[in-house]
Amino acid sequence: MGFLDTIESGSQIDSYRIEEPVARSGMASIFRATDVRDNRIVALKIPHPDMEADPILFDRFQREAAIGEKLNHPMVMRVFGGEKRSRVYMVMEWCEGRLLREILSHGRIGHDRALHISVKVLDALEYIHEQGVVHRDLKPENIMIDENDNVKLIDFGIAGDGAARRLTYANFTATLGTADYISPEQVKGKRGDGRSDIYAMGVILYEMLTGRLPFSGNSPMEVMNDRLLNYPVPPSLVEPRISPQMQEVLYRALERDPQNRYAHAREFAHDLQHLDEVGVEDRLETREWNKRKSHTSRQVAYYAALALIPVVILLLMVLVSRHR
């Protein structure tokens, strides 16, 4: 029986009384808890024993905690540190609300609400980027929305910290992300920077406004390959109420080349808040979107090999660490 199997409602870890389990992933379990010192409700993220035994996965967990502890913004979930603990776990801010994924499961959301949520998320992204942190796995599952549409950015499990110089699990998995939201440069095996988060936010905004994703495929690799070869269906064709200015903002966020993308989250947010000031370009995206390039086996194999580079490196690191 592992440690997690002994955790029940009412049990206590240091000064935290467990109230109930909330979620379980492959690496850790999250519990709602009360800090008995001040009755504050918190969330405890406790790694599974097998993860603690793996030095690379354990390093990822500690890295996530270290990144979280240095961030302090109303739209970023807090991680609390600075106290002696009897075992390894994270103490996190308890966030009420629903995941954006749950909201989107009912279809597209209204224009004004989509812009409101996007501006809030971009505010959070601007803050973390200023702290040298790149989320690298931005998606609706990592955005919490409360009843007043306030936003919390959560889960920095594969985030990158620009201040770090060591090679860690977080560094090597930074290119992986989630297929539907991963940027083209990450598909090509590059580490990515804040503009990769901006790309992901562009995909999320497209999804909020249209109820569908800009790129598709029968497998994650096909989805990633689609964004390298083809243009998305113009969002105004999916949802006619999308203005040319709003469509232009989406195209700027979804530029394949990060050098042509919004350089900063604040620029993206500014255009969303001042759509009347956005100039509309004559784009290939609107004229040639239906000229679909095929996913040839050579192209798929090439990009699959690029995407697998960090995985191979990770496996080598695991083998080396286990034979020391």
Residues 88 and 103 in one domain: no
Per the domain annotation, does 324 fall within a domain? Answer: no
Residues 85 and 120 in one domain: no
Per the domain annotation, does 179 fall within a domain? Answer: yes
Per the domain annotation, does 150 fall within a domain? Answer: yes
Residues 210 and 245 in one domain: yes
Helix, strand, or coil (residue 80): strand
Residues 224 and 135 in one domain: yes
Per the domain annotation, does 323 fall within a domain? Answer: no
Alpha carbons 202 and 118: distance in angstroms, whole number: 9
Q: Which residue has the higher pLDDT, 157 or 7?
A: 7
Residues 58 and 81 in one domain: yes
60-114 per-position pLDDT tens digit? 888 889 999 999 999 999 999 988 899 889 999 999 999 999 999 999 999 999 9
Residues 58 and 108 in one domain: no
Alpha carbons 268 and 262: distance in angstroms, whole number: 6
Residues 303 and 230 in one domain: yes
Residues 145 and 35 in one domain: no
Give the pLDDT score at 60. Answer: 82
Write the CATH number for 89. 3.30.200.20
Selection from 16, 266, 293 nearest residue 121 by Cα: 266
Choosing from 72, 93, 114, the residue where a domain stops is 93
Name the amino acid, one letter, at 137. D
Give the pLDDT score at 321. Answer: 53
112, 67 contact by CB (below 8 A): no
140-168 per-position pLDDT tens digit? 999 999 999 999 998 877 776 654 433 23
Which of the residue ranges 37-51, 172-186, 226-240 would you say has the lowest mean pLDDT?
Answer: 172-186
Say what percent of the chain tops pLDDT 90: 59
Per the domain annotation, does 266 fall within a domain? Answer: yes
Strand pairing report for 133-134 and 160-161: antiparallel
Write the CATH number for 133. 1.10.510.10
Residues 111 and 209 in one domain: yes
Q: What is the domain range of residue 57?
A: 3-93
10 Å CB burial of residue 47 (0-12, 13-18, 19+) is buried
Alpha carbons 6 and 9: distance in angstroms, whole number: 10
Choosing from 93, 122, 150, the residue where a domain stops is 93
| DSSP assignments along 99-159, one per residue | EHHHHHTT----HHHHHHHHHHHHHHHHHHHHTTEE-S--SGGGEEE-TT--EEE---TT-
Q: What would the mean pLDDT of 173-195 be, rounded to a whole number?
A: 79
Residues 194 and 156 in one domain: yes
Q: Is the pLDDT of residue 175 over 60?
A: no
Residues 70 and 123 in one domain: no
Per the domain annotation, does 89 fall within a domain? Answer: yes
Question: Which tokens belong to 128?
Answer: 């973390």
Per the domain annotation, does 177 fall within a domain? Answer: yes
Instruction: Give the 3-state secondary structure of 13-72.
Output: ECCEEEEEEEEECCCEEEEEEEECCCCEEEEEEEECHHHHCCHHHHHHHHHHHHHHHCCC
272-289 per-position pLDDT tens digit? 999 999 999 999 999 989
CA angle 263, 210, 126 (to 5 degrees): 25
Alpha carbons 200 and 205: distance in angstroms, whole number: 9
Residues 185 and 63 in one domain: no
Choosing from 58, 93, 128, the residue where a domain stops is 93
Q: How many domains does the chain have?
A: 2
Q: Is the pLDDT of residue 201 over 80?
A: yes
Name the amino acid, one letter, at 269. A
Question: Which tokens belong to 36?
Answer: 């008995």
100, 117 contact by CB (below 8 A): yes
Give the pLDDT score at 177. Answer: 61
Per the domain annotation, does 137 fall within a domain? Answer: yes
Name the amino acid, one letter, at 87. R
Report residue 7's pLDDT band, with 50, 70 and 90 as the boundaries: confident
- Catalytically annotated residues: 137
Beta bridge partners of 23: 30
Report residue 170's pLDDT band, with 50, 70 and 90 as the boundaries: very low
